[in-house]
């Protein structure tokens, strides 16, 4: 058997990373290495110095571990789509087999336009 949690800022408009986040996380400052377009600043309501740290985690509950961890980061896509949710089937399967599965919300580093400013 397995269980599921999310972690996020607690302020995200997506409820799993917002008010219903299981674990609240601080934001991350990446302003020294990336620049975000004005479109994304308006769309996501954060900037380079206040990036959210969001994830979905499935973990086994039927024994005491230790458990190996599998990190899943989605591929390139339109930045307004939350594709980390698409790994739910894999997270459930891995957790039921004794793995901790972590699907990371990586929209902020997406290469799809109009993410980066030029």
A 10 A CB-CB count for 16 gives: 21
Q: Tell me, yes or no, whether 117 lies in a domain.
A: no
91 in helix, strand or coil? Answer: helix
The average pLDDT across 93-98 equals: 96
pLDDT tens readout for residues 20-59: 999 999 988 988 987 777 766 666 677 788 888 889 999 9
- What is the β-pairing status of strands 69-73 and 100-104? parallel
Residue with tokens 């110095």: 49
pLDDT (0 to 100) of residue 1:
92
Range of the domain at 19: 2-109
Q: Tell me if 44 is assigned to some domain.
A: yes
**Residue 117: is its pLDDT beyond 50?**
no
**Better-predicted residue by pLDDT, 113 or 4:** 4
In a domain, residue 49? The reply is: yes
Domain count, the chain: 1
- Domain assignment present for residue 19? The answer is yes
User: Does residue 76 belong to any structural domain of this protein?
Assistant: yes
Residue 115 lies in a domain: no
52-91 pLDDT, tens digit each: 888 999 999 987 889 999 999 876 656 666 667 788 999 9
């Amino acid at each position: 058997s397995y269980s599921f949690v999310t972690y996020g800022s607690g302020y995200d408009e997506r409820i799993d990373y917002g008010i219903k986040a299981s674990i609240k996380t601080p934001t991350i400052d990446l302003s020294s290495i990336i620049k975000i377009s004005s479109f994304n600043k308006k769309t996501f309501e954060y900037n380079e110095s206040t990036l959210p740290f969001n994830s979905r985690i499935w973990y086994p509950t039927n024994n005491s571990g230790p458990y190996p961890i599998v990190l899943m980061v989605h591929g390139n896509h339109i930045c307004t789509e939350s594709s980390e949710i698409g790994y739910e089937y894999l997270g459930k399967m891995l957790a039921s087999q004794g793995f901790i599965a972590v699907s990371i919300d990586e929209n902020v580093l997406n290469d799809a336009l109009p993410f980066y400013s030029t």
